[in-house]
Chains A and B, each alone.
Chain A
Amino acid sequence: MLNFTVKQLAAELAAKRLSSVEVTQYFLKRINVLGKALNAFISVDEERSLAAARGADQRIATGGTGPLTGIPLAHKDIFCAKGWLTTCGSKILSNFVAPYDAHVIERFGHAGAVIAGKTNMDEFAMGSSSETSFYGPVRNPWDVAAVPGGSSGGSAAAVAARLAPAATGTDTGGSIRQPAALSGVCGLKPTYGVVSRYGMIAFASSLDQAGPLAKTAEDLALLLNAMAGFDARDSTSLQREPEDYTRDLLKPLKGLRIGLPAEFFAEGVAPDVVKAVEQAIAELKRLGCVTVDVALPNMKLSVPVYYVLAPAEASSNLSRFDGVRYGYRAPEYSDLIDMYRKTRAQGFGAEVKRRILIGTYVLSHGYYDAYYIKAQKLRRLIAQDFVDAFSKCDVIVGPTSPTTAFNIGEKAGDPVQMYLSDIYTIAVNLAGLPGMSIPAGFGNKSRPVGLQLIGNYFGEAKMLNVAHQYQQATDWHMRMPPGIN
């Protein structure tokens, strides 16, 4: 069961060779033993999970089996789940029991999936290493001295260590793709607007998207099928014809055009990452793909643009955390303003405060045009580069991260160094395009390397096709960290 995909587990459940209770117990036991060492989970509620598993078994017994019925899934602690502590990795929500379900949680509930637990993450999704959590850092199952990546590090570690067959995450600047790469699993960020953000604690509203993490591209497609779709409660949710994201998995890749941007292979990528990515591209060519050189000349601006826009939106979104209606309130204060100031000073960690301050500054009087509006204009140039590139290719490919996983504490002292690790993922969020990362081998110290695929708008099925065919010809995605058995 350790290495079963969601698809395989669903087949076992449908054939009644396994029950949801058995499957859930199996993973809960692993969470209990390994979860603490990795610090991958913030909340686990065995009774609740098993009750849901019993419900799923009843559904299965009466013939109601779907692709996710009875499957335990780990959810990033950014999704409100009714009755579950939902902390967003922060002290300011360390006592917040969500009174409602996020759209994503609701969808999985309707599908009969089981909540295995809530995973650890960078505080308010602000980070690339899962080190800023109020609950302490998450460790990489491949090397516990290393970070799993962030901000969805708990979810990535959970899938890598086989604590759950699949998980959810969110991606604002790379927070699904980068931890997937560093932890040797698959992760996908959909086109902006495809998955509803209702009940997903907001960081940067024009960039945030929820997405799945799993061991295979096929599993990502199965989870995306449940997550995607219009939701009237999210004003940015797109109304489109429903899609089956598994529909193109089996298409041969012959003639498919892979775009290779020069900017993804310039200086700054570690040699061990380059080697693995080049081997992956060679494999794609063997499978019939044709490579095309493309250019993303404005990509180098994506980090500065993001670190204006995302903090600006965050400063607005996090202004709701004031100790009035929910969450942490400072124990002592002199008046209302003092209550706000102390609650937020005590409740937020250093990185969150930094970003709120940057955001407040770039939106403030006298600076709005030079920073915020300027960044929005550059955003259009960055997005236009991709439009031009996609006139010449079907899918863009390159490294997800410039390096493999770095050590815990290595970059925590210098925010700018940490920010630069998002260099290949951020532009995808700015443009609102879909992106994914799949395992493509190992680098130094046997740390995983991720291959990033970027699709055109609504091009998830095509990206998943490339990934699935690659995974039929290679087995990086089925490798397991040593010692997690």
Chain B
Amino acid sequence: MVLTLDDVKRIAHLARIEVEAHEAEQILVQLGGIFGLIEAMQAVNTDGVEPMSHAQDVMLRLREDAVTEGDQHLLFQSIAPQVEADLYLVPKVIE
């Protein structure tokens, strides 16, 4: 897979990371190298192989639908960048 500068800009936007034009060039070169490494995967036949996401054959644990956590918003919001009236403040989203 050959990466282009447009690809870099597209994924930077998806990842919500600002990338300046000159940075994008450098990133393109470095990512190209890494994707060269990754291409080795395509050489091996994996037909009929199940994807493996976990080492053990386990099921996700379920629990009772009961409240177990308490309200600690004062503690958690004490380290927030901007808080007012128990709400986290961010730039306006709705016009």
Binding site for B on A (CB under 8 A): 95-97, 99, 191-193, 206, 232, 235-236, 238, 298, 300-301, 303-305, 307-308, 315, 319, 322-327, 329, 333-342, 344-345, 348, 353-354, 356-358, 360-361, 364, 367, 370-371, 373-381, 383, 414-416, 419, 431-433, 457
Per the bound structure, the CA–CA distance linking A206 and B46 in Å amounts to: 21
Contact assessment for A232 and B88 in the assembled complex, using a CB-CB cutoff below 8 Å: no
Per the bound structure, the CA–CA distance linking A232 and B69 in Å amounts to: 13
Contact assessment for B44 and A301 in the assembled complex, using a CB-CB cutoff below 8 Å: yes
Contact assessment for A322 and B88 in the assembled complex, using a CB-CB cutoff below 8 Å: no
- Which of A319, A374, A419 makes the CB contact (< 8 A) with B46? A374
Binary interface encoding of chain B residues 3-14 relative to chain A, with 1 for a CB under 8 A from any of its CBs, else 0? 000011001101
- Which of B8, B19, B42, B76 makes the CB contact (< 8 A) with A99? B76
B21 CB-CB contact with A under 8 Å: no
Contact assessment for B38 and A307 in the assembled complex, using a CB-CB cutoff below 8 Å: yes
- Which of A193, A342, A353 makes the CB contact (< 8 A) with B55? A193
- Which of A235, A374, A457 makes the CB contact (< 8 A) with B56? A457
Which residues on the B side are within 8 Å of A300 (C-beta)?
40
Contacts A354-B30, A376-B51, A381-B49: A345 and B19 contacting too (C-beta < 8 A)? yes
Contact assessment for B50 and A377 in the assembled complex, using a CB-CB cutoff below 8 Å: yes
> B46: nearest residue on chain A (CB-CB)?
A377
Per the bound structure, the CA–CA distance linking A322 and B16 in Å amounts to: 9
Which residues on the B side are within 8 Å of A360 (C-beta)?
11, 14-15
In the complex, what's the smallest C-beta–C-beta distance from B27 to chain A, in angstroms? Answer: 7
> B36: nearest residue on chain A (CB-CB)?
A416
Which residues on the A side are within 8 Å of B54 (C-beta)?
192, 206, 236, 432
Binding site for A on B (CB under 8 A): 1, 7-8, 11-12, 14-19, 27, 30-31, 33-42, 44, 46, 49-56, 58, 60-61, 63, 72, 75-82, 88, 90-93
7 closest A-B pairs by CB: A432-B55, A376-B51, A380-B52, A341-B18, A377-B46, A345-B18, A329-B81
Contact assessment for A364 and B37 in the assembled complex, using a CB-CB cutoff below 8 Å: no
In the complex, what's the smallest C-beta–C-beta distance from A465 to chain B, in angstroms? Answer: 22
Contact assessment for B16 and A303 in the assembled complex, using a CB-CB cutoff below 8 Å: no
- Which of B8, B44, B58 makes the CB contact (< 8 A) with A238? B58
Contact assessment for B76 and A325 in the assembled complex, using a CB-CB cutoff below 8 Å: yes
Per the bound structure, the CA–CA distance linking A380 and B92 in Å amounts to: 46
Interface of B is mostly: loop
> A376: nearest residue on chain B (CB-CB)?
B51
Per the bound structure, the CA–CA distance linking A401 and B47 in Å amounts to: 32
In the complex, what's the smallest C-beta–C-beta distance from A377 to chain B, in angstroms? Answer: 4
Which residues on the A side are within 8 Å of B53 (C-beta)?
206, 376
Per the bound structure, the CA–CA distance linking A34 and B42 in Å amounts to: 48
Interface of A is mostly: helix
Which residues on the A side are within 8 Å of B12 (C-beta)?
357
Contact assessment for B55 and A191 in the assembled complex, using a CB-CB cutoff below 8 Å: yes
Per the bound structure, the CA–CA distance linking A97 and B80 in Å amounts to: 10
In the complex, what's the smallest C-beta–C-beta distance from B4 to chain A, in angstroms? Answer: 12
| Further pairs besides A336-B92, A348-B17: 18, Cβ < 8 Å | A95-B79, A235-B61, A304-B41, A307-B38, A329-B82, A342-B18, A345-B19, A358-B31, A360-B14, A364-B14, A374-B42, A377-B46, A377-B49, A377-B51, A379-B51, A379-B52, A416-B34, A419-B34
Contacts A357-B15, A364-B11: A375 and B41 contacting too (C-beta < 8 A)? yes
Which residues on the B side are within 8 Å of A235 (C-beta)?
60-61
Contact assessment for B75 and A99 in the assembled complex, using a CB-CB cutoff below 8 Å: yes
Per the bound structure, the CA–CA distance linking A323 and B34 in Å amounts to: 29
Contact assessment for B91 and A308 in the assembled complex, using a CB-CB cutoff below 8 Å: no
Per the bound structure, the CA–CA distance linking A222 and B5 in Å amounts to: 52
Per the bound structure, the CA–CA distance linking A361 and B34 in Å amounts to: 12
Per the bound structure, the CA–CA distance linking A380 and B50 in Å amounts to: 7
Contact assessment for B37 and A383 in the assembled complex, using a CB-CB cutoff below 8 Å: no
Contact assessment for A336 and B93 in the assembled complex, using a CB-CB cutoff below 8 Å: yes
- Which of A95, A315, A358, A370 makes the CB contact (< 8 A) with B34? A358
- Which of B7, B42, B55, B90 makes the CB contact (< 8 A) with A192? B55
Contact assessment for A373 and B37 in the assembled complex, using a CB-CB cutoff below 8 Å: no
Per the bound structure, the CA–CA distance linking A465 and B39 in Å amounts to: 40
Per the bound structure, the CA–CA distance linking A374 and B40 in Å amounts to: 11
Contact assessment for B37 and A419 in the assembled complex, using a CB-CB cutoff below 8 Å: yes
Per the bound structure, the CA–CA distance linking A334 and B18 in Å amounts to: 13
- Which of A193, A308, A381 makes the CB contact (< 8 A) with B38? A308
> B50: nearest residue on chain A (CB-CB)?
A380
Which residues on the B side are within 8 Å of A335 (C-beta)?
91-93
In the complex, what's the smallest C-beta–C-beta distance from A328 to chain B, in angstroms? Answer: 8
In the complex, what's the smallest C-beta–C-beta distance from B20 to chain A, in angstroms? Answer: 8
Contacts A357-B27, A374-B46, A377-B49: A303 and B37 contacting too (C-beta < 8 A)? yes
Contacts A99-B78, A326-B79, A333-B91: A380 and B51 contacting too (C-beta < 8 A)? yes
Contact assessment for A354 and B18 in the assembled complex, using a CB-CB cutoff below 8 Å: no
Contact assessment for A353 and B17 in the assembled complex, using a CB-CB cutoff below 8 Å: yes
Which residues on the A side are within 8 Å of B16 (C-beta)?
319, 322, 337, 340-341, 344
